[in-house]
Structure formats: structure tokens, C-alpha cells
Amino acid sequence: MIFNKDTAEKTAELLLQINAIKLNPGNPFTWASGWKSPIYCDNRLILSFPPIRNYVRDEFSKHIEKQFGKPDVIAGVATGAIGIGMLVAESLGLPFVYVRPEAKKHGRLNQVEGFLQKGQNVVVVEDLISTGNSSLLAVEALRTAGANIKGMAAIFTYGFDVADQNFKNAKVDLYTLSNYQNLLNLAVAKSYISEKEEKTLREWSVSPSTWDIV
């Protein structure tokens, strides 16, 4: 679910402007999973554009506090959400931790890096949601460490049904600054893509794991 429609539209346009989101229906990308995709999203680029990273920081800070109440800790999911998560924590005057994909094999064997006390209320910040599996592994690690998860806030989601079900099963409320639906609406309105390309992009979202260009 998006936090706010106006925020969703503006975030989508900013991501398109800096090529954090690339739409290429005629020459699809190949994801690490092997899926063919007419869209590629790299929200790490946000950190290289100060006005845009400040906008994302401020929107996260405002909506997180409104939706979840002010938590005790902000947690970022490594590696994509460490930077923006830390900016949000700084803005809210809160401690910050981040969560590795898996525990280290040496030293203190940490998966959650930073100081976290059992029972603390945590909002998790993520950059991108596809199936939600990696994001929810971070939630599981935080819960194992004793955190009370208030919810997750992400920059963008593809809006896959499987992700919705995964978050529902994990009992985690997910809110995003923008999503695939608002992106396509904005991309057509601002002539980033044609109506024919929009049709291709909508067809992909119905069954992304089996889609291929014809």
C-alpha cells in the first residue's frame, strides 16, 4: 500500500528522471532470478542526487511517524537500504541498525549490526520490494533479536501478488512511497513510454516469472 497518492506520483517521476527506474519493453533486462523484465530498478542511485535523497528522506520520516508512530529504532536492509535508512534515522533522531542477508561467519557472528535491545519498536526501511522474501528474512532476524516490528517502509514495490501474500503471512504491514501502478500512470502521462509499451509493461506484471517478449 502506498503512503499517499501525490507522494507516489512524485517519487515515480523522480526515479524516472535519474534513471533509477529504467523502462525498456523492447529489450528486456534479465534479473538475477532469471526472470525477463521490461523494467529495472536501482534505487541506490538516489543517494547520488542530494535534492532527491532529501525528498525521499523527508517523505519517509513524515509518513513513518504518521503511519506507525515514532519507533525506537530504524533498521535498514543491507545493502540497498543502509544509506537511506540511516538518513531517515538521523532525521527522526533515532538509533539505526542494519540487517545482513545472513549472519557473519566470523567475529561476533552478527546478522543485525548495531545496538538493539529486546522489546524495542522497529520500523524497517527497504529500497525495493519484488517477492518480499529477502526483506522478510531481515524482519525474521530482527524478531529473533527481540525486536517488535511496527512495519516496513519501502521506496518502491512491483506490486506482485506473491509479495502481498508473503507480507500477510508474516504479519508485516508494508507501505511504500511509490509502486508499479503509479509509475505506469505517470510514465504514460509524461510520455516516458507509449501506450503500446504500457500494454507490454502491464502484461509483464500479470505473470513476471513466465513473461518473455514476443
Does the pLDDT at position 34 exceed 90? Answer: no
pLDDT score recorded for residue 33: 83
Cell of residue 99, nine digits? 540487517
Whose CA is closest to 21, among 54, 50, 52, 58?
Answer: 52
Instruction: Return binding residues.
Output: 100, 104, 106, 126-134
Buried b (16+ CB within 10 A) or exposed e, 128-159: bbbbbebbbbbbebbeebebebbbbbbbbbbb
Q: What percent of the chain has pLDDT over 70?
A: 97
Please name the CATH architecture into which domain 5-201 falls.
Answer: 3-Layer(aba) Sandwich (3.40)
pLDDT score recorded for residue 104: 67
Whose CA is closest to 16, among 47, 48, 50, 40?
Answer: 40
pLDDT one-digit tens code per residue, 13-33: 999 999 999 999 888 999 888
Instruction: Return binding residues for orotate.
Output: 130
Instruction: Return binding residues for 5-phospho-alpha-D-ribose 1-diphosphate.
Output: 100, 104, 106, 126-134
State the average pLDDT over residues 160-179.
96
Does the pLDDT at position 36 exceed 80? Answer: yes
Cell of residue 175, nine digits? 507501505
pLDDT score recorded for residue 71: 98
pLDDT score recorded for residue 103: 74
State the average pLDDT over residues 46-71.
97
Does the pLDDT at position 3 exceed 80? Answer: yes
Backbone phi, psi, residue 101, to 5°: -60, -30
Q: With 0.75 as the threshold, say if the pTM is over it.
A: yes
State the average pLDDT over residues 50-62.
98
pLDDT one-digit tens code per residue, 172-197: 999 999 999 999 999 999 999 998 99
Domain boundaries, the chain: 5-201
Lowest mean pLDDT among 44-48, 104-108, 185-189, 204-208: 104-108
The rounded mean pLDDT for the chain is 94
pLDDT score recorded for residue 178: 98
